[in-house]
Amino acid sequence: MSVTVKKISEGVDNFPEYNEKYVQLYETIHKYADVGYSKREIARALQCGRNTVTKFLNGDLESLCRKNYKSSLDRYYDYVVKELTAGKCRMDVYNGLVLKGYEGGRTAAYDYMNKVIKRHRLAVSVIKSTSADAIKKRYELQKYDHISRSGVFRFLWMNAELSEVHRSYIMEHYPRIRELRNCILEFRDIFERKSMPRLYLFIEKYMNCEMKEIQTFAKGLMRDIEAVENSVASSLSNGFVEGTNSKLKMVKRTMYGRCSKELLAAKLMYDPYTKY
């Protein structure tokens, strides 16, 4: 027996009207049924119960997928979309809702507005409302190819991939970034090759660097040269000891001012005679 796929109304994609998850489940179940899958097979494929499959096969789209609103902000939906689209920040929209009679909390209102912003991909001011000209300029900037500040940091510290256009532009227009990049690569190369001469050359080179931060770093290496030499020459590390020490300190700090010294000692000290 073939099952006819019910026609879905054009308003299904309307955000305030239908639950997207239920609509997708409704469509998928009917597509499986249309090609001859049994209810048991559909339930196994979609990892849901057979009663759910039966309900969506026999039920109506309107009654199954239309949202039952419980939020007091639903009646202000059009106002929220209008104000956020105009570029107002959430604080201003919330104040407007209060004037319109909204009696709920600010957190609930912000959560509701965040869902609207995510759904409609709105560019909303975080701190204060912006003028129409500022909003227009912000949309115009989105047309241009750009790289974020965090993207530059990832490129420097984690060797993240950059397009050739972005990389060449940064290296050409920001010589300090190029110098910082070279410094990072040279320092990492010291440990990869375990080369002591490279360490001394690195310190000598960057002790007189124009960038104060790099110069301070090089001077710090010189002050602790014995420890730095050991870390370069040896693959051994005190990382395990430091990690264990951090765990012990965390236990101590969570108990500070609440428990006795005896309990602290019992939690930190190993007792070979303790029976578990």
Distance CA 267, CA 248 (A): 9
Q: Read off the pLDDT of residues 187-224 as tens digits, 9 standing for 90 and up.
A: 999 999 999 999 999 999 999 888 999 999 999 999 99
pLDDT at residue 11 greater than cutoff 50: no
Residue from 257, 258, 255 nearest 268 by CA? 255
CB 203 within 8 A of CB 221: yes
CB 46 within 8 A of CB 95: no
Q: Read off the pLDDT of residues 111-163 as tens digits, 9 standing for 90 and up.
A: 888 888 888 777 665 545 555 566 666 666 666 667 778 888 888 888 888 88
Q: Could you tell me the pTM of the whole model?
A: 0.42
Strand partners, 18: 66
CB 109 within 8 A of CB 73: yes
Strand partners, 126: none
Distance CA 39, CA 244 (A): 55
Q: Read off the pLDDT of residues 24-58 as tens digits, 9 standing for 90 and up.
A: 888 889 998 898 889 888 988 888 888 888 988 88
Higher pLDDT, 158 or 273: 158
DSSP state, residue 187: H
Compute the Cα dihedral for 211, 212, 215, 217 and give only its sign: negative
